C-alpha cells in the first residue's frame, strides 16, 4: 500500500499486489510500485519478507527508498521505522532474520524432498506425455523430425517433447 502526507495525517494512494515470492526479482507489480513512488510517500508492506529475503537486497531497497525521500513501514513489524537510526538498526536485524528463515525453509524443503525420494516418491507435475508418446517422439527425433513437428503430431507442447527427450537421453547415459 502506498500512503502520502495529507491534511489530516496519511492519505491512502494505491495498492500493489504481487503473488510471487519475495525472493523472486521478476515481480511486475513491485516494479510498478517502485516506479509510482514519489518523495514524501510511505511504502507500507504487509511483512518484511514480502519485499525480499536477503539482507543485502532488503538493505539496498530501503537505502534506495531513503535516498529518494520515501519512508518504509511494515504492518506486521510495526516498530520498523526507517526514518530513525534505531529503526534502521532494527530493520537490518529483521532483514537478517528473514534471510535466516528463508535458508531454514530451503533446508527443510530439501530434506523433505530427499526423504520423499528415499521412500520412492517423485515430486513435480505428472508428465503430459504417455510412454507411447515418448517412444513415438524418440523414433521421430531419430529420423531428424523437427521438435515442432513432433509436438504437433503428438498434440503436446514443444517443451514437453524436448523435456521428454532430454530425460530419456539422461536415463540412457546413466
What was the pLDDT predicted at 1? Answer: 60
Please report, for the domain that includes residue 30, its CATH number: 3.40.50.1390
Asked if 50 and 82 sit in the same domain, the reply is yes
Shared-domain flag, residues 96 and 140: no
- pLDDT tens readout for residues 93-122: 877 887 788 889 999 999 999 998 899 887
Q: Are residues 107 and 33 in the same domain?
A: yes
Q: Judge contact between 128 and 157, C-beta under 8 A.
A: yes
In a domain, 155, yes or no: yes
Answer yes or no: do 77 and 154 share one domain: no
Q: Give the DSSP letter string of the chain.
A: -EEEEETTEEEEEE-----S-TT-S--HHHHHHHHH--TT-EEEES-GGGT-SSHHHHHHHHHHHHHTT-EEEESSSTT-BTTSHHHHHHHHHHHHHHHHHHHHHHHHHHHHHHHHHHTT---SPPPSS-HHHHHHHHHHHHTT--HHHHHHHHTS-HHHHHHHHHHHHHHHH-
User: Which residues make beta-bridge pairs with 72?
Assistant: 43
Domain check: are 14 and 44 in the same one? yes
Query: What domain range includes position 166?
Result: 131-173
Q: Are residues 111 and 139 in the same domain?
A: no
Q: Determine the pLDDT at residue 2.
A: 58
**Interval 75-87 mean pLDDT:** 75
Structurally, the chain folds into a number of domains equal to 2
pLDDT in tens, 112-155: 999 988 998 877 778 889 999 999 999 999 999 999 999 999 99
Q: Are residues 52 and 96 in the same domain?
A: yes
Report pLDDT for 10.
72
Please tell me whether residues 155 and 69 are part of one structural domain.
Answer: no
Amino acid at each position: 500500500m502506498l500512503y502520502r502526507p495529507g491534511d489530516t495525517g496519511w492519505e491512502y494512494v494505491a495498492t500493489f499486489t504481487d503473488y510471487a515470492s519475495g525472493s523472486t526479482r521478476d515481480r511486475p507489480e513491485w516494479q510498478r510500485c517502485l516506479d509510482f513512488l514519489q518523495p514524501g510517500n510511505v511504502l507500507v508492506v504487509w511483512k518484511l519478507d514480502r519485499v525480499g529475503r536477503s539482507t543485502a537486497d532488503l538493505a539496498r531497497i530501503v537505502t534506495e527508498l531513503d535516498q529518494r525521500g520515501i519512508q518504509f513501514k511494515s504492518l506486521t513489524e510495526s516498530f520498523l521505522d526507517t526514518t530513525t537510526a534505531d529503526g534502521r538498526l532494527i530493520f537490518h536485524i529483521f532483514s537478517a532474520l528473514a534471510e535466516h528463515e528463508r535458508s531454514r525453509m530451503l533446508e527443510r524443503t530439501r530434506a523433505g524432498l530427499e526423504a520423499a525420494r528415499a521412500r520412492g516418491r517423485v515430486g513435480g507435475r505428472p508428465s503430459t506425455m504417455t510412454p507411447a508418446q515418448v517412444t513415438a517422439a524418440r523414433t521421430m527425433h531419430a529420423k531428424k523430425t523437427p521438435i515442432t513437428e513432433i509436438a504437433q503430431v503428438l498434440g503436446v507442447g514443444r517443451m514437453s517433447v524436448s523435456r521428454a527427450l532430454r530425460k530419456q537421453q539422461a536415463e540412457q547415459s546413466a
